[in-house]
Amino acid sequence: MATKTTSSKTIPFAIAITALATALGVGSYYHVTTMSELQGQVKSLEGELTIAKAQAIDPSAIQEIVANLKQLPEEDIPAAPDNWIYGASSARYTLIEMTDTECPYCRDHFPLLKALIESSAGQINAAILHVPALGEASRRQALAIECAGEQGGSDAAWKYTQTVFDKTGGNGKGVSESLVSLATQLGLDGKRFAACTDSKRAMERVTGDLDQAIKLGIQQTPSTLLLDNQTGMSMVLQGANASHEGILKAIASISKAGGAK
């Protein structure tokens, strides 16, 4: 059975949902909808990283290059997750995608994130961290994604997430089909899946994700925690900085900062 690391500190699930639903604003997230722009950014990534390795800048310049990035204290940097990974497990950079399947901006961002990873020549992978702030539909879908992953691993978790994004009405409306039906369409065992979605272990995993998001100070979805698995450096990107362009700039910046050590 697949496992997923969660925070040792937990908070009551209903309280966490209420707090996040009140605190998280989805507002002014900037996103790009044309794949040609994304591909142009991705093609330049390798060159940017090569140049960055040859340069040395003061880490304080990161704030000037990428506005509103949060540098985490070393003790707060989570380990790169080993489950629900999309992309090469050996990738240098991990993007922990803090997402809500009822968030329309998250739905627009999800395929761009996957395209970025697929075009990164194995340098970038991603993991899912649930921030189900838009009510009961968000919460049940987060549990369902965890159960898809428990039964079918990372591939099933990511496919199930994409399926929910494709079928949901968004903003708390949910999907018209049952979540179990979506699972069986992906070849998962429906009875086992249904039992999992009502289990304490699935709820604890989602609660652990929420706790991590709160500790990171997340104010909107989608947000991304960028981890450099080589240097241990990390950054939190929110709002416009969580766009594909912001992610690429952050990778270049964190690479420069790591090289300056």
User: What pLDDT, in 10s, does the model give residues 41-53?
Assistant: 434 444 444 444 4
Which has more pLDDT, 189 or 82? 189
Position 249 in a domain: yes
Q: Is residue 197 part of a domain?
A: no
pLDDT at position 61 over 70? no
Report residue 79's pLDDT band, with 50, 70 and 90 as the boundaries: very low
Whether 172 is in a domain gets the answer: no
Q: Identify the sign of the CA torsion 194, 220, 243, 75.
A: negative
Residue 48 structure tokens: 């940017």
Q: At residue 15, what are phi and psi to the nearest 5 degrees? A: -65, -40
The radius of gyration of the chain's CA atoms, rounded to the nearest angstrom, is: 18
Q: Determine, yes or no, domain membership for 187.
A: no
Kindly indicate the confidence band of residue 18, based on its pLDDT and cuts at 50, 70 and 90. very low
What's the whole-model pTM score?
A: 0.70
Amino acid identity for residue 104 in this structure: P
- Residue 124 resides in a domain: yes
Tokens of 124: 């970038």
Report pLDDT digits (tens) over 169-193: 999 999 999 999 999 999 999 999 9
Residue 127 lies in a domain: yes
Residue 218 belongs to domain spanning: 17-135+206-259
CATH number, domain containing residue 113: 3.40.30.10
In a domain, 166, yes or no: no
DSSP classification of residue 78? P
- CA dist 40 and 58 (Å) reads 28
Q: What are phi and psi of 255, to 5 degrees?
A: -65, -45
* Domains: count for the chain: 1
- In a domain, residue 178? The reply is no
pLDDT at residue 244, rounded to an integer: 82
Amino acid at 41: Q
Are the CB atoms for 209 and 131 separated by under 8 Å? yes
